Amino acid sequence: MYQLTEHEQEREPTGRTRTVKLGYVGGGSQGWAHTLINDLAQCPDLAGEVALYDVDHDAAARNAELGNQVTDRDEAVGDWTFEAYEEMGDALEGADFVVCSTQDPPEETFAHDIDLPEEYGIYQPVADTVGPGGAVRALRAIPQYRDIAATVRERCPDAWVINYTNPMTVCTRALYEEYPDINAIGLCHEVFKTQELFAEMAERYVDGADDVSRDDVEVQVKGINHFTFVDEAHWRDHDLFEYLDEELERRKPLPGFEPGDMDGESYWVNNQQIAFDFYDRFGLLGAAGDRHLAEFVPWYLDIDEPEEVQRWGIRLTPSSARVGDDEGPDEMEEYLSGDEEFEFHDSGEEAVDIMRALLGEEPFVTHLNYPNEGQVANLPEGAVVETNAMLTGSGVTPLSAGDLPEQVRTLVDRHVTNQETLIEAGFTGDLDLAFQAFLAEPLVTIQRDEARELFAELVETERDYFGDYDLDANVLQG
């Protein structure tokens, strides 16, 4: 039905301009919102309204002001109106697309998700997906995403919902659990780095391969968000997977660092040691950053001191880095006052490509998170999995990725079970059930009674975010 062209940055304008409404939940954010402003302004064949909603209305209003300012500039090709709304329902009314990118105030939540487990000797580089922190974040998010799905059902039932929020799998799953007919996908860029890695390998190992772009590398993705794997990689008809053994030898030993080696590095440093360790032991390359991969099994984070994790070429991100003094607000002031000009850039994000594809403009193939309808044949149907998919005017069609090898399936499956249990706990408000999942987190290797204490302490500390739960649960009583 289609011939496909390798992805190029310049999009082929169709000549038609499509007018759409975008609702943005979490529209006060500095990250994704700015990227979206940037990308929409550069898209030649889309135009319309962006309706921003945020629990912090002022932040949304500032983003609206910035969006309108940017869209008025000569270099901006798209014609967009940005507006901030007080009510989520009004922002989503009649929307064609809904973007979700939300976060609870880190100082009241994320910081505790990191710090309290550390008191029990559990170290988490990220703490937003799995582990004690990820589990608690999931519990907080489920009622919120249930609410978003209910609003979509009421105000824009046919809209495409694009979620960027972590824990990605649980948030996306909650949308479908509340409103099974929702059109929702979850997007994450971790796999891009794996494509970049293979692009470099193509240049290193394939004769005549220069300037290979990550978009030219085809990888078969299978797993769940942040714990996903690649078992095939091609550039044109060159099998890049064949070079992995050579590349592995080049990168050995694993682990290859000493505690302290990463001291001066960014918190986000990634040496792909764990990704390759998975390849070495299980035959599939880990396809997320090592900071994420490490949290899904106990073998990399069974440490006594934070710096020990540096042996694997990564660092822990302390809670202080999650709270407060990021430079966003100041930058915003300068944009709005005109002291600094918002600079257009190639964001590398695919949201606009995806919207155009779903509008029937130009088919697009990428990886995304979507309920399993067989694309990972040996994971449960209905669970949200990460694979490649084709997006067209008819919607999302996952590409079949086959089976995971049994040992890897089992490693992934325990998280699928945990996520499904958290969803059930979140929809019923049952914290005793939630604790079953908490206890089954691979990072929870402490004594069962300590695990209970930690769980109860997390809930107690973040009590304001657990209003939808039964706080008389046994697990909280000891």
CB nearer a copy of itself, residue 200 or residue 232: 232
Comparison of 237 and 472: residue with beta carbon closer to a copy of itself: 237
Q: Name residues contacting a copy of itself, limited to 225-244 (CB under 8 A).
A: 232-239
Dist CA 119 CA 117 (whole Å)? 5
Per-residue x/- track, 192-231, a copy of itself (CB under 8 A): ---x-------------------x-xxxx-----------
Taking the complex as a whole, the smallest distance from the CB of residue 455 to a copy of itself amounts, in Å, to 11
C-alpha span between 42 and 163 (Å, rounded): 21
Contacts of 245 (CB under 8 A, 6+ apart): none
271 binds a copy of itself (CB under 8 A): no
Nearer to a copy of itself, 24 or 370 (CB): 370
Using CB under 8 A as the binding rule, whether residue 413 contacts a copy of itself is answered as yes
For helices 448-461 and 431-439, the axis angle rounded to 10 degrees is 130
Within 2-21, the residues that bind a copy of itself by CB under 8 A are 2-8, 11-12
451 forms part of the interface with a copy of itself (CB under 8 A)? yes
Smallest separation, CB 198 to a copy of itself (Å)? 11
Nearer to a copy of itself, 68 or 397 (CB): 397
Token reading at 292: 């994420």
User: Which two tokens mark 263?
Assistant: 């001291």
Measured from the CB atom, is 25 or 443 closer to a copy of itself?
A: 443
DSSP state of 165: P
Q: Which of 36, 444, 454, 476 binds a copy of itself (CB under 8 A)?
A: 444
Q: Which C-beta is closer to a copy of itself: that of 27 or that of 398?
A: 398
Q: Is 292 in the site for a copy of itself (CB under 8 A)?
A: no
> Quick one: which of 255, 295, 274 has its CA closest to 411?
295
Q: Does 298 bind a copy of itself (CB under 8 A)?
A: yes
DSSP secondary structure, 312-359, as one string = GT-----GGGGSS--SHHHHHHHHHHTSSPPPP------HHHHHHHHT
Burial of residue 228 (CB within 10 Å: 0-12, 13-18, 19+) is buried
For residue 409, state whether it binds a copy of itself (rule: CB under 8 A).
yes
189 among known catalytic residues: yes
Site pattern 243..262 for a copy of itself (x: CB under 8 A): -----------xx-------
What does the block give as tokens for 274?
């764990």
* Residue 1 in contact with a copy of itself, rule: CB under 8 A: yes
Interface with a copy of itself in residues 46-65 (CB under 8 A): none
Other beta carbons less than 10 A from residue 83's beta carbon: 17
DSSP code string of 222-290: EEETTEEEEEEEEETTEEGGGGHHHHHHHH-SSS---TTTTTTS-TT----HHHHHHHHHHSSEE-S-H
Q: Hey, which residues between 347 and 406 contact a copy of itself (CB under 8 A)?
A: 353, 358-367, 373-377, 381, 388, 390, 392-394, 397-403, 406
Give min distance, CB of 89 to a copy of itself, in A: 25
Residue 135 CB, nearest approach to a copy of itself (Å): 13
Secondary structure class of 445 (helix, strand, coil): coil
Give CA separation, 293 vs 40, 116, 120, 362, 379, in Å. 32, 21, 21, 33, 19
Residue 268 or 299 having the CB closest to a copy of itself: 299
Query: Site size for a copy of itself, by CB under 8 A?
Result: 89
Which of 57, 112, 189, 238 is an active site residue?
Answer: 189
Backbone region of residue 354 per phi and psi (left: phi > 0; alpha: psi in -120 to 50; beta: other values): alpha
Binding of a copy of itself by 162 (CB under 8 A): no
Least Å distance, CB 58 to a copy of itself, is: 36
Q: Catalytic residues, which ones?
A: 189
